[in-house]
């Protein structure tokens, strides 16, 4: 599944190669010519309402629930992850930390609304830390009811 409000995923992307199915969530209304090309490439295109200028993530998850998809692993950019956190839709977090500094004004892992002070920060419980070569995986469950 790809959440791409503007449908910018290139038709040459490997995700359109077999095996598997591609579900693409885009913001409605969506360009009918782009939609047809994506359908021809093998994607199922879901046009969803927006919140701001992006796909309404709550509506997307409701539709997935109707399809009996109740667990989703998200590898997303800062905006998608921020939206999920803003709506308290995250249960578990897995973060890989690598000894590489990217930097830049857009180099945030989680965008969204953020917090006003540290007392409102989400906390992880049942935290586990594992090392994979030079990389470190930190995982834990979002403690509910603290915010």
Query: Going by DSSP bridges, is the β-strand pair 2-3/22-27 parallel, antiparallel, or unpaired?
Result: parallel
82 and 138 share one domain: yes
Comparing 112 with 131, the larger pLDDT belongs to: 131
63 and 123 share one domain: no
pLDDT category at 147 given cuts 50, 70, 90 is very low
How confident is the prediction for the chain on average, in pLDDT? 91
Domain span including residue 46: 1-72
User: Among the three residues 16, 39, 72, which one is the final residue of a domain in this structure?
Assistant: 72
94 and 147 share one domain: yes
Total number of domains in the chain: 2
99 and 51 share one domain: no
106 has a pLDDT exceeding 80: no
92 has a pLDDT exceeding 90: yes
- The predicted pLDDT at position 59 comes to 95
146 has a pLDDT exceeding 70: no
122 by Cβ neighbours in 10 Å (0-12 / 13-18 / 19+) ranks as middle
29 and 81 share one domain: no
100 and 55 share one domain: no
User: Among the three residues 36, 51, 72, which one is the final residue of a domain in this structure?
Assistant: 72
pTM of the model: 0.83
58 and 109 share one domain: no
| CA-based nearest residue to 38, from 51, 54, 20, 26 | 26
């Amino acid at each position: 599944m790809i959440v791409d409000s503007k449908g910018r995923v290139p038709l040459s992307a490997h995700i359109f190669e077999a095996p598997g199915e591609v579900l693409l969530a885009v913001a409605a209304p969506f360009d009918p010519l782009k939609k047809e090309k994506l359908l021809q490439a093998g994607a199922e295109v879901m046009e969803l309402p927006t919140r701001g200028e992006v796909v309404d993530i709550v509506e997307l998850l409701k539709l997935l629930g109707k399809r009996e998809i109740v667990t989703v692993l998200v590898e997303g950019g800062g905006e998608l992850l921020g939206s999920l956190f803003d709506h308290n839709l995250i249960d578990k977090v897995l973060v890989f930390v690598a000894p590489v500094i990217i930097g830049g004004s857009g180099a945030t892992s989680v965008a969204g609304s953020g917090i006003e002070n540290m007392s409102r920060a989400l906390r992880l419980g049942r935290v586990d830390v594992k090392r994979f070569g030079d990389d470190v995986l930190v995982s834990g469950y979002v403690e509910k009811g603290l915010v």
